[in-house]
A and B are shown apart, each in its own frame.
Chain A
Amino acid sequence: MTDCLELKDVTVRYGARFALDAVSFGVPQGAQAAVVGPNGAGKSTLFKAMVGLLPMVSGQVLLHGQLRADYKEPVAYVPQREEVDWRFPVTVFDVVAMGRYGRGKWLKRLTSADRRTVRESLDRMDVADLAHRPIGELSGGQQQRVFLARALAQEPHVLLLDEPFTGVDVSTREATLELLSGLRANGVTVLVSTHDLDLAASRFDVVVLLNRRLIHAGPPREVFTEEHLHEAFGGQMVVVDGRMIVVDQCCCGGDAEGGGSAGDGAGRDGR
């Protein structure tokens, strides 16, 4: 069986430094994969390279065996922090409707089917009541849900979510997890980057452990071994009484606040 999503020797460089060094892995059709690794491991870089926002030095991204550039089905990508001007005069509905553009629809008006899809997507992310509000008036969590709704409105075959669980409120986190369950039923292939190792181990079919190069990719049980984790996290991991503890310091400025921010870490049995 060919994988829905396949990376072959993907290499990205910032100047002389390798951000990603020959990363290869595959995700089967309809599977959900979590990309984990310490800060600076290249998780966001991987996503950007996959959607063509960053040039690759070498390597290929294949979707259903086709090169990404030749693949015409929609790939939705929700970046970690949208490079979006929140003061822009658009409503929530307008933003989600943008998910229906493309696919040769740049010149056509939205059809009633398009509008229905937009409304369903708003409903699914529980932001339908905000449809006519300007995007800038929403809270951070609501804004993220709007962008997830837009990704849904794209009716993607492949969905890439960069750190959807970082810095969001509990209800947005729950809404995102529900969305993932729903997408599983629809057979959408999903790739999510996260610092939440516990979540990666419990909710995902495939885990991709990354630290500029691929440490290991496969089912969580295979990936989360002492050896692999030590390779990825180094000093951020300790073994106490045969139990491994990984402290994955999240990206959101935890340094200044000290140990309290290590709550994203997960403790798991060694074997």
Chain B
Amino acid sequence: MIAWLTEPFSFAFMQRALIASIIVGIVCAIIGCYIVLRSMAFLGDALAHAILPGVAVAYLIGANLLAGALVAGVLVAIGISFVSRAGTIKEDTAIGIFFAAALALGVVLISTMGSYAVDLTHVLFGNVLGVTSADLWITAGLAVVVLGLVLLLYKRLLVVSFDPILGRTLGLNIHWLRTGLFLMLAATIVVALRTVGVALVAAMLVTPPAAAYLLTRRLPVMMLVSAVIGVVSSVFGLYASYYLDISTGGAIVLIATVIFVLAFLFAPRDGIVWRARRRAAAPRG
């Protein structure tokens, strides 16, 4: 059993994969709490796809793909924030336009390359086994920055997420904080790029926090439980992919989904099983 658990990590690439997966599990799960509570799931998905042109350009000029993704993510995050601030267009419309335009640009750039490079499919679906040391440093650095900002801005983000009007009367700059959250989200997506890929990162942002929401009643606890679910999914996803020879990103997301379904059914307060039992008991009582 011990050997079964340790065997995969006798390889250096598996050790790097494990570290990367754990970082992704934590960072996505914590930023994801804001995404779920502020109903920004669409933004997360859009930002993930919108970084594609950045990756393509980085590939064309031979730069680090994650660096290219980060630049594109930051530009799109700022763009969405400012266009929706103007108030002439609703936020989800602005997101839709940027998302589609950036994705189209990415597809056009990639089509100029003649053949779809293997590296780019890894961007779409992740390739945690191919994490390089440089990738790991970028991932860890971004994770530290994002988690540090969550700590630093905790009260401010809590107030503007729960009650923006109070935020305004207490002198907070709502627009600045929202842009900051977008940027943190962009950085988080880049962090997750190698493990689950662009196509599945939205699941890592939404599924663990959604499960945690069903199990908890306060934001700090929700973040903690969400992070635990994220890490468990990542680690077990990695094992599943090693032993069953399946896609790592897919395995991670499927395990997170199973945890969510269990929470949805059996959460002590909100689980539908207990609700049904309470309903069944009510007429007699």
Chain A positions within 8 Å of B, measured between CB atoms, are: 51-53, 75-77, 79, 82-85, 88-91, 94-95, 98, 101-102, 106-107, 134, 150
B168 at the interface (CB under 8 A from A): yes
Q: Is the interface of B mostly helix, strand, loop or mixed?
A: helix
Please tell me if the beta carbons of B161 and A88 are within 8 angstroms of each other in the complex: yes
Please tell me if the beta carbons of A101 and B155 are within 8 angstroms of each other in the complex: yes
How far does the Cβ of A133 sit from chain B's closest Cβ, in whole Å? 9
Interface string of B139-176 (1 = CB under 8 A from A): 00000000000001001101101111110111100000
How far does the Cβ of A241 sit from chain B's closest Cβ, in whole Å? 46
B279 at the interface (CB under 8 A from A): no
Instruction: Give the chain A neighbours of B164 by CB distance below 8 A.
Output: 83
Choose the segment among B49-57, B70-78, B210-218, B249-257 that binds chain A (4+ C-beta atoms closer than 8 Å): B210-218
Please tell me if the beta carbons of B168 and A91 are within 8 angstroms of each other in the complex: no
> Across the A-B interface, how many residue pairs have beta carbons closer than 8 Å?
61
**A85: which of B162, B165, B217 is its contact (CB, 8 Å)?**
B162
Please tell me if the beta carbons of A75 and B218 are within 8 angstroms of each other in the complex: no
**A134: which of B159, B170, B217 is its contact (CB, 8 Å)?**
B217
Q: A53-B169, A84-B163, A89-B219 are in contact. List 17 more A-B contacts (CB 8 A).
A: A51-B169, A52-B169, A53-B168, A75-B169, A76-B169, A77-B169, A79-B165, A82-B163, A83-B163, A85-B37, A85-B161, A88-B161, A91-B217, A98-B158, A98-B159, A101-B170, A106-B155
Chain B residues 207-245 with CB under 8 Å of chain A are 213, 216-219, 221-222
**B171: which of A76, A90, A94, A102 is its contact (CB, 8 Å)?**
A102
**A102: which of B152, B170, B213, B219 is its contact (CB, 8 Å)?**
B170
A85 to B159, CA, bound (A): 11
A85 to B34, CA, bound (A): 13
How far does the Cβ of A148 sit from chain B's closest Cβ, in whole Å? 13
A84 to B160, CA, bound (A): 10
Closest B residue to A93 using CB positions: B218
A150 to B221, CA, bound (A): 22
Instruction: Give the chain A neighbours of B170 by CB distance below 8 A.
Output: 101-102
Please tell me if the beta carbons of A83 and B217 are within 8 angstroms of each other in the complex: no
Instruction: Give the chain B neighbours of A85 by CB distance below 8 A.
Output: 37, 161-162
Please tell me if the beta carbons of B219 and A90 are within 8 angstroms of each other in the complex: yes
Please tell me if the beta carbons of B163 and A89 are within 8 angstroms of each other in the complex: no
How far does the Cβ of B259 sit from chain A's closest Cβ, in whole Å? 18
A77 to B166, CA, bound (A): 8
Instruction: Give the chain B neighbours of A150 by CB distance below 8 A.
Output: 166
**B159: which of A51, A76, A77, A101 is its contact (CB, 8 Å)?**
A101
A114 to B164, CA, bound (A): 22
Q: Which among A76, A98, A134 has the highest number of chain B CB atoms within 10 Å?
A: A98
Please tell me if the beta carbons of B166 and A98 are within 8 angstroms of each other in the complex: yes
How far does the Cβ of A146 sit from chain B's closest Cβ, in whole Å? 11
Instruction: Give the chain B neighbours of A89 by CB distance below 8 A.
Output: 37, 213, 216-219, 221-222
Chain B residues 1-48 with CB under 8 Å of chain A are 37
Instruction: Give the chain B neighbours of A84 by CB distance below 8 A.
Output: 162-163
Instruction: Give the chain A neighbours of B166 by CB distance below 8 A.
Output: 98, 150
Chain B residues 156-204 with CB under 8 Å of chain A are 156, 158-159, 161-166, 168-171
25 residue pairs A–B, Cβ–Cβ below 8 Å = A51-B168, A51-B169, A52-B169, A75-B169, A77-B169, A79-B165, A82-B163, A82-B165, A83-B163, A83-B164, A88-B37, A88-B161, A89-B37, A89-B213, A89-B216, A94-B218, A94-B219, A98-B155, A98-B162, A98-B163, A98-B166, A101-B159, A107-B155, A134-B217, A134-B218
